[in-house]
Amino acid sequence: MSRKLKGASVMSLVATLSVMMFGAESSRANAEVVNYAPEAVAAQTAEAIDMVAPAPTPTEGESETKTVFVSEPMVQTVPPQPEPAEETALAAHGANSLGELVSSVAAPATLDEQLKCLAGAIYFESKGESLAGQLAVGRVVIARAESGKFPDSYCGVVYQRSQFSFVRGGRMPRINTASRAWEKAKKLALIAHQDAWESEIDGALYFHARYVAPGWRNRMTKLAQIDNHIFYR
């Protein structure tokens, strides 16, 4: 019994000493935390937030520099793509006849100078003829402008001296812009310019009214007669 108590007393003493030693160590540890933790924490915190901390207030003579942090990815704006060419729009109509194509095309409200010259030639040379005849006149003007043998613009071809009888004094007569004939001529000028419909006289550079017989016709290759005009290459 006494041996057991002695043993228990020893164990109790050891335990007491351990508690005392542990308590001392804990006190020193606590003292160290109390003495040094604020600086360590502050240093670690400052290190952690250094990249986003506001810049210090500049002293006199220093310029203020601000760092801007972007929280979202920057996306470059893609420029808008150009609209499909008008030529493609006309070609995509899928008309079964020239008349159907002319009906489906909206007449341009305004024309640039070159297309106005082309439409004017169609209007004055063939406004009373079929659509095929009017388109053929337009195709001759275009073929001349592209040939290298004539002026290289529609207006240059139309206003070339002694070529089109409706041109007087280097000017085109007044056009009745409210007429259906002008609306049709504008559509056909657009169709011819965009090569949206084939003509049996494509490639022709010359034509004349069937009631005249100019001498130059014998040196040319006749392609076709459409309505009131005979066309040559």
Report domain extents, the chain: 1-33, 95-232
- Higher pLDDT pick, 161 / 74: 161
The pLDDT-based confidence of 109 (bands split at 50, 70, 90) is: confident
Contact 140, 201 (CB under 8 A): yes
175 three-class SS: coil
Mean pLDDT of 89-115: 85
Separation CA 78–CA 147 (nearest Å): 41
Which CATH code is given to the segment(s) 95-232? 1.10.10.2520
**What are the distances in angstroms from CA 172 to CA 60, 116, 125, 167?**
77, 11, 12, 5
pTM here is 0.61
Please identify which residue in the block is written with the tokens 């002695």.
6
- Higher pLDDT pick, 185 / 10: 185
The pLDDT-based confidence of 95 (bands split at 50, 70, 90) is: confident
Q: Where are the beta strands (DSSP E) in the chain?
A: 206-209, 222-226, 229-232
Separation CA 5–CA 36 (nearest Å): 45
pLDDT recorded at residue 141: 98
In this predicted structure, the answer to whether residue 92 has a pLDDT above a threshold of 90 is no
Question: For the segment 154-205, what is each residue's pLDDT rounded down to a tens digit?
Answer: 999 999 999 999 999 999 999 999 999 999 999 999 999 999 999 999 999 9
